[in-house]
Amino acid sequence: MVEGVITAVEAQVRKGGQRSNVYVDGRFAFSLPADMAVALRIGEPLSAVKTADLLWKDQGARAYEHALIFLGPRPRSEREVRDRLGKHGYPEQIVGAVVERLRGLSLIDDNAFAEYWVEQRQLHKPRGARLLRQELRGKGIATDVVTETLDAAPDDADDAYRAAQRKAQSMRALDERTFRQRLGGFLQRRGFGYEVTAKVVRRLWAELHGEEIAAEDWPEE
């Protein structure tokens, strides 16, 4: 571990001044975030313990910045953030501290993430409750949060209908039996239950072939 006397603290030009190089006894020792390095004084003695503390704090700052970048494109679950930081070699103690900080800033919120996930699926890639439950549990969302979120979601039948409309168009030339089997399998693979699947398949077959649609196959008001 580095120890000696600080002889220079210089901003890293290529990093836009966000980090600074620290020199000890005339040699490069390590770099730190600029806001940490500003507290160092030239001529100040640097012990091995102090160096270890600075590098530990630097690692925490790096992990926090890494997490912020990871959260940039979309919300993430707590497990996603933990897994991401862990895969990049950050110690569990630092990962836990970063997660706690992000949670305190409401940048990690598994309840909000679950709502976001279901909403995005419904808008872009409709899924049944069974598959949504699997996806959310795979993201590390607690069972009670998953249940509460799905209970508040719109009726499965509407999602199933939207999920199957384009697929049904591509199958309109099939005979009714084959149409039902293939479209039903398509919906079941997306997590929709048998009753919802059967209802939607009947409705889409009727719409494509100009048949009267049974009242029970219309979406609920």
Per-residue pLDDT reduced to its tens digit, 73-112: 999 999 999 999 999 999 999 999 999 999 999 999 999 9
Q: Has residue 211 been placed in a domain?
A: yes
Residue at a domain's end among 90, 107, 124: 107
Alpha helices in 129-215 (DSSP H): 129-138, 143-151, 156-170, 176-189, 194-208
Q: Has residue 51 been placed in a domain?
A: no
CA 216 to chain centre: 38
Strand order in the sheet with 27-33: 27-33, 19-24, 4-11, 45-46
Residue type, 209: H
Residue at a domain's end among 151, 183, 203: 151
CATH number, domain of 69, equals: 1.10.10
Per the structure, how many domains does the chain have?
4
Return phi, psi of residue 172, to 5°. -65, -25
166/206 same-domain check? yes
- pLDDT band at 135; cut points 50, 70, 90: very high
Residue type, 58: D
CA 165 to CA 171: how far, in whole Å? Answer: 10
Q: Is 73 helix (H, G, I), strand (E, B) or coil?
A: coil
What mean pLDDT comes out for the span 140-145?
96
Question: ∠ CA(158), CA(140), CA(194), 5° rounding?
Answer: 30
Question: Residue 199's pLDDT is what?
Answer: 86
CA distances from 127 to 124, 150, 161, 172, 195 (A): 10, 11, 11, 22, 15
Cβ atoms of residues 76 and 108 within 8 Å: yes
* Domain around 95: 59-107
Q: Has residue 19 been placed in a domain?
A: yes
CA 102 to CA 90: how far, in whole Å? Answer: 16
pLDDT > 80? residue 133: yes
CA 160 to CA 64: how far, in whole Å? Answer: 40
Q: Has residue 54 been placed in a domain?
A: no
Q: Has residue 170 been placed in a domain?
A: yes
Cβ atoms of residues 79 and 116 within 8 Å: no
186/163 same-domain check? yes
68/26 same-domain check? no
Residue with tokens 């000890």: 24
CA 216 to CA 193: how far, in whole Å? Answer: 16
Question: What percent of the chain lies above the pLDDT cut of 70?
Answer: 93
Return phi, psi of residue 30, to 5°. -170, 175
115/102 same-domain check? no
Residue at a domain's end among 46, 68, 83: 46
Q: Has residue 26 been placed in a domain?
A: yes
Return phi, psi of residue 143, to 5°. -55, -45
Return phi, psi of residue 22, to 5°. -110, 130
pLDDT, tens digit, 9 for 90 and up, residues 19-41? 999 999 999 999 999 999 999 99
Q: Has residue 53 been placed in a domain?
A: no
